[in-house]
Amino acid sequence: MKMKARGAMEMIAAMLISGTVGWPVIASGQPAVTVVFWRCVFGAFAMFIACAMLGLLKRGVLTRQHIVIAVIGGITLVLNWVLLFGAYSYASISVATVTYHTQPFMLVGLGVLFFGEKLTANALCWLLVAFGGMLFIIIGQTGAITSGSDYLFGIIMALGAAFMYAVTAAIIKRLKGLPPHLIVLIQLLVGAILLAPFVCWSDLPLSGSTWGLLFIIGVVHTGLMSALLYGAIQKIPTSLVGALSFIYPVVAIIVDWLVFDHRLSAVQLAGAAAILLAAAGMNFGWKLLRDHPCESKKHS
């Protein structure tokens, strides 16, 4: 019981940290590519220390296949971060984060297309609820359709980030048995190498406060958060992981309101609630449709 309680506290802490990441990203004033690059650099440093302390830096732990799959996952993970951080500037932290939580449906779609999984009628219903929520978020922004092309672009970027996250999750499924800290270390190293050519080095050196924010994003929002998250996943049931994960978007909405005074309209709040409800329904297997009487008789 103590182990479960500790895991729940670690999960809550991880989600609280995740929900505040938009604050330093915006406050740094740096392009999304630059922020993600330094996130990878500082995060890799933190994860290297964690892996060393856990004794994961031994020969024979990784195979060539593991490395190839982890590298591909690193590319999609980095693209996910670049798109999400870029979306903050166009559609606000709140809208981008809630839109980003359509990722469970992206993962379901990938499962149907590439892993032979079946799309149930119930899952399709939750997908429609989430789609309706997405429409509410779009039409709830004053002038979004007529004059706010940037806002719509932010929505598209957040959806792209969700898709990239789903692809990353699907790839990681093929790395079962490999320590997650080691996976993240590889992905962060890949990200740093991949993004280095796109960083505007002429803008360096940055101010001390900017370096501080980038360091916090890398060490706290990546290294510490990952350690807490993976520790929690090992201690608590998957259902509790799914339930506590909804702290992330709620905290993001509150931070966006308190720090940047970005408030969702009533229509957008309804859309956000619909998306989060649909995601919860998918995670916990809530049923919108009753089993057909004939099907019930067949199973009896």
All residues at 6 or more sequence positions from 181 whose CB lies less than 8 Å from its CB, including other chains: 47, 50, 51, 54, 56, 226, 227, 230
pLDDT in tens, 3-62: 888 888 998 999 999 999 999 999 999 999 999 999 999 999 999 998 999 888 887 778
Buried b / exposed e along 1-21 (16+ C-beta atoms within 10 A): eeeeeebbbbbebbbebbbbb
Looking at per-residue pLDDT, the higher value among 108 and 193 belongs to 193
pLDDT for 293: 46
Phi then psi for residue 93, to 5 deg, are -60, -45
- Report whether pLDDT(300) > 50: no
d(CA 11, CA 278): 21
> What percent of the chain clears pLDDT 90, i.e. is strictly above it?
38
Mean pLDDT of 121-140: 86
Helix 32-53 with 225-235: angle, nearest 10 deg: 50
How confident is the model over 64-106, as pLDDT tens digits?
Answer: 888 899 899 899 999 999 999 999 999 889 999 999 988 878 8
The predicted-structure confidence for 250-291, as pLDDT tens digits, reads as follows: 899 999 999 999 888 889 899 999 998 988 887 777 887 765
| Residue 63 Cα to chain centre, angstroms | 27
pLDDT value of residue 291: 54
What is the chain's mean pLDDT, rounded?
85
Task: State the pLDDT at residue 148.
Answer: 53
Chain segment 200-257, per-residue pLDDT in tens: 887 777 888 999 999 999 999 998 998 888 888 778 876 677 778 888 998 999 999 9
d(CA 99, CA 144): 15
